Amino acid sequence: MAITKLNTYQPLTEQSATALAIGLRIFEDGTLLTCEEIGDGNLNLVFRVLERETGKGIIIKQALPYAKVVGESWPLTIERARIEASALKLQRSFVGDLVPEVYYSDPTLAITVMEDLSALTIARAGLIKGEKYPRLSHDVGTFLANTLYFTSDYALHPFKKKEYVKEFSNPELCKITEDLVFTDPFFNSETNEFEEELSRDVQHLWDDFTLKLEVAKLKKSFLTEGEALLHGDLHTGSIFVDQNQTKVIDPEFAFYGPIGFDIGQFIANLIFQAASKTDEGETILYHIENTWNVFSTAFSRHWKESGDAYTKVNGYLEYVLEKSFQDSIGFAGCECIRRTIGLAHVEDLDAIPDKERRLQAKRTCLTLGKELIIKRKQIHSIEELLSVIKFHFE
Ligand code: ADP
Ligand code: MG
């Protein structure tokens, strides 16, 4: 019996994932298939089913009813698979090949069957190795402009927008972000993890009430400002790349939130690269600058090409861009801090082999993160943001 006929959830195995691929008739009848679970992520199973003869593959991603990294003690809704598949399809209608094609999805089994991107590299891994990806910031800037503009009130009929807000209501995954990005790192929470040597730096952060108030304001924005459908987890581990293409994956955290959130997370993850390198900083700074420039240019173009009476009001676009820019800086600051001392770290920093250099890079991320959060409203252009970042790396 093909597993597609099952109407209850069960975790797939390599055998049942293969049976599913056969049942879906994605491959020719009778062809020899191999299957491997390749997921290196924290939350889900990822199977790669491969046709031996042609090397043609597909990916079957399945949500488990708990977070894989923690185990069954951390239950997590499999609804996130429906959200991921729907987000990928909607994003694809706005960005084409910048996201993988979804061949099939089934919310009961919590699976998304999609394009196999194994020929590409996860951006974080490639950047750590020193690879250059000339298209990265242009493609991510375009992804951001298109997905954020075309899912916002500036583009959609209000009924459609509210339908999407309902469809992408994602409370459990949002709670993870609310806790791990905006709360835990700023208090002495059990989830935090950092080197003993950073204790004093961390205590300084926890004692800083100005910082905490600004983080509270950013958290409020994340909680309440349903401006656009966010990816929700746009770090360099969610991006496949090679020299010629970029594909954004893994939007299981998608929900309606503030435009600056995705932009800020991506910028912060570029900052970790700059912090981890003694050279090549310029390339990374260029990517930060270009991401914002491509985003704001394309967003403005979309705005001017469509919209209603309000979007024509003088200064409104500039207001939205400036607000998004300052939010991006603040959210980038939160990401800088939480990836350094919170629960989920990044390889860019943790894998710096020399201990002193590693601690130094982490301290830089903490002080820079704090400055970005506190001074975000005094930074008015991408050039000014680059000067602030550069100052911390000198
Ligand atoms: P999680 O949400 O569990 O973090 P991801 O979507 O990030 O899962 O996928 C985990 C890993 O599985 C990725 O880092 C990548 O190695 C692999 N993977 C995911 N999607 C694809 C794909 N479409 N093609 C090839 N490999 C993929
Ligand atoms: Mg994920």
- CATH number for the domain including 244? 3.90.1200.10
Query: Helix (H, G, I), strand (E, B), or coil: what is residue 246?
Result: strand
Mean pLDDT, residues 258-270 taken together = 98
Q: Is 116 touching ligand 1 by the criterion CB < 6 Å?
A: yes
Q: Per-residue pLDDT for 5 more than 60?
A: no
- Whole-number Å distance, alpha carbon 168 to ligand 1 midpoint, is 21
Q: Indicate whether 9 belongs to any domain.
A: no
Q: Is 117 touching ligand 1 by the criterion CB < 6 Å?
A: yes
The Cα–Cα gap between 248 and 239 comes to 5
Q: Is 69 touching ligand 1 by the criterion CB < 6 Å?
A: no
Please tell me which residue, 5 or 178, carries the higher pLDDT value. 178
Q: Is 249 touching ligand 1 by the criterion CB < 6 Å?
A: yes
Q: What is the pLDDT of residues 58-113, one digit of tens each?
A: 999 999 998 776 767 889 999 999 999 999 999 999 999 999 999 999 999 999 99
**Structural domains counted in the chain:** 2
Q: Which structural domain range is residue 35 located in?
A: 14-115
Q: Indicate whether 246 belongs to any domain.
A: yes
| 46 & 85 share domain | yes
Nearest ligand (C-alpha, residue 40): 1
CB 325 within 8 A of CB 347: no
| Mean pLDDT for the chain overall | 95
- What pLDDT sits at residue 291? 98
CB 343 within 8 A of CB 180: yes
Q: Is 251 touching ligand 1 by the criterion CB < 6 Å?
A: no
Closest ligand 1 atom to 68 CA: 3
Alpha carbons within 13 A on the beta-carbon side of 372? 33
| 99 & 186 share domain | no
- Whole-number Å distance, alpha carbon 340 to ligand 1 midpoint, is 23
Question: What pTM value is reported for the model?
Answer: 0.97
Choose one of 92, 115, 138: the last residue of a domain: 115
CB 323 within 8 A of CB 154: no
| 254 & 235 share domain | yes
- What pLDDT sits at residue 2? 47
| 256 & 307 share domain | yes
Report strand pairing: 228-230 vs 255-257: antiparallel
Q: Indicate whether 1 belongs to any domain.
A: no
- What pLDDT sits at residue 69? 66
Q: Per-residue pLDDT for 7 more than 80?
A: no
Q: Indicate whether 274 belongs to any domain.
A: yes
| 60 & 125 share domain | no
Q: Is 100 touching ligand 1 by the criterion CB < 6 Å?
A: yes
| 316 & 365 share domain | yes
Q: Indicate whether 151 belongs to any domain.
A: yes
The Cα–Cα gap between 113 and 104 comes to 5
- Whole-number Å distance, alpha carbon 250 to ligand 2 midpoint, is 5
Burial of 166 (0-12, 13-18, 19+ CB in 10 A): exposed
Choose one of 75, 97, 115: the last residue of a domain: 115
